[in-house]
Amino acid sequence: MTKFTRALLGATALSFAVTPALADKLTIATVNNGDMIRMQKLTEDFTQKTGHTVEWVTLEENVLRQRVTQDIATKGGQFDIMTIGMYETPIWGKQNWLVPLNDLPASYDIDDILPAMRGGLSVEGTLYAAPFYGESSMIMYRTDLMEKAGLEMPDAPTWEFVADAARKMTDKDNEVYGICLRGKAGWGENMAFLTATSNAFGARWFDEEWKPQFDSPEWKETLTFYIDLLNEAGPPGASNNGFNENLSLFQQGKCGMWIDATVAASFVTNPNDSTVADKVGFALAPDTGLGKRGNWLWAWALAIPAGTQKEAAAKQFIEWATSKEYIELVASKEGWANVPPGARTSLYENANYKDIPFAKMTLESILSADPNNPTVKPVPYIGVQFAAIPEFAGIATQVGQEFSAALAGQQTAEQALEKAQALATEEMEAAGY
């Protein structure tokens, strides 16, 4: 390879150089989690390569969703790049509210993005947001408590096995509970978990005519199973527990099993934060033998709102932040356990990453989730733990409150499902489905 060829390849790998007169200032809205805060600290690398500068608007998750939704719906033009997820992307892409990302350079290697992530962030094969990191859900469990119960966790367990193990691992006198699951109301809290779980039980949100299905036997089985299991083997006050509360309980040694986001694996195995860091195993989310597992699929992704005056610079930023080179940059500064997971195939082929104890199960969980075919029976929507329609967030927030109340013992599962069916039907009819 000649010096000239090497220089050319170096320039095209991140094909960026910009003269100061042409440099732009990008405004980016993002969520206040660790991976995004780390990205902000590394932005100087992007500025050095391109001349473009970045102004960050960093918000709590619920506030971020509200701000970016309002801005894009009203064409407010506040942001050049938005951090959004798999729920918003297909809806906004169909509305032509986002700039298609179908012209990223060959060096970006769009085919390296995990198929599940590309699928959930695309409309009819066109990518509308690039995944910064991706996640599914899986079982994190205490290997010592499983052994004490005389059981061995399969890599791909059934819900029947999990329920049996949870009851055997429970020791309420010593504040050890066999299973911790989300109970806190919210479309991204208990409903993310319950919607994914319902897929494994053969349930669905809507039939092919968009009629709500909470009056089906499959939903009754899902909700009754969940409530009974948490009442018998879960911690007290489970209806108040979301991701953060269950993370804390697990790190304190109070959960035998926890089924939640794969990104939590690095937290529960970190000896600085977790009292059980050296006693954690991983398994796929459970199934019931119907061909679907109860694991969700999500990505925090970067997208460009249509109408920005800085589209070219915004694409350069997305290319930088979601590239293989960015992963290498994080690894060089923070170590391989802290790189953004779940977005690229090459990460899971990297010899340095293969030693991370949760890498293999995270990848298998992501690959087993299919947003285009999430349920046993056919459905008209895309999404595993949500239905990618504008009305979903509002309906699921209300349904989540009814299900949380049932878990708290304020009403029966049947009453909660009856209310869910009525309110979902009313909302869908009002929306014209």
Residue type, 431: A
Helix 159-169 and helix 217-233, axial crossing angle in degrees, nearest 10 = 20
Higher pLDDT among residues 202 and 7, named by residue: 202
Q: In the structure, what pLDDT confidence band is assigned to residue 7 with cuts at 50, 70 and 90? A: very low
Q: Is the pLDDT of residue 365 over 90?
A: yes
Rounded Cα–Cα distance for residues 98 and 122 (Å): 11
Instruction: Please count the other Cβ atoms lying within 10 Å of the Cβ belonging to residue 410.
Output: 12
* SS3 state of residue 289: coil
DSSP class of residue 305 equals B
The whole-number average pLDDT for the span 280-296 is 96
Confidence at residue 389, expressed as pLDDT on a 0 to 100 scale: 92
Name the pTM for this structure: 0.85
Alpha carbons 189 and 242: distance in angstroms, whole number: 6
Query: What residues have CB less than 8 Å from 261, skipping those under 6 apart?
Result: 135, 136, 137, 243, 298
CB 354 within 8 A of CB 148: no
Determine the Cα–Cα distance for residues 151 and 32; give it in Å rounded to an integer: 39
How many other CB atoms sit within 10 Å of the CB of residue 161?
Answer: 16
pLDDT class for 11, splitting at 50, 70, 90?
Answer: very low
- Rounded CA separation 79/400 (Å): 31
Average pLDDT, the chain: 92
Give the pLDDT confidence score for residue 34 in this predicted structure. Answer: 76
Measured CA to CA in angstroms, residue 147 lies from 234, 265, 283, 340, 354 at distances of 19, 20, 15, 32, 26
- pLDDT of 18 over the 60 cut: no
Q: Which residues, 6+ apart, have CB-to-CB distance to 116 below 8 Å?
A: 134, 136, 297, 366, 367, 369, 370, 371
Q: Which residues have a Cβ under 8 Å from the Cβ of 281 and sit 6 or more positions away?
A: 140, 141, 142, 143, 146, 153
Nearest to 136 by CA among 190, 193, 83: 193
Q: What is the pLDDT of residues 215-253, one digit of tens each?
A: 999 999 999 999 999 999 999 999 999 988 999 999 999
Q: Which of 120, 123, 110 is nearest to 319 (CA)?
A: 110
- Residue 424: per-residue pLDDT: 98
Task: Please tell me the predicted confidence (pLDDT) of residue 49.
Answer: 95
User: Rounded distance, CA 96 to CA 305, Å?
Assistant: 9
Instruction: Judge whether residue 2 has pLDDT over 70.
Output: no
Tally of CB atoms within 10 A around 308: 19
Alpha helices by DSSP H, 188-291: 190-200, 217-233, 243-251, 265-268
* Percentage of the residues of the chain whose pLDDT score is greater than 90: 80
Q: Taking residues 275-296, what's their average pLDDT?
A: 96
Region 285-295: mean pLDDT is 96
Residue 17 confidence (pLDDT): 58
User: How does residue 275 score in pLDDT terms, banded at 50, 70 and 90?
Assistant: very high
Q: pLDDT at residue 328 above 80?
A: yes
Predicted confidence band of residue 313 (pLDDT cuts 50, 70, 90): very high
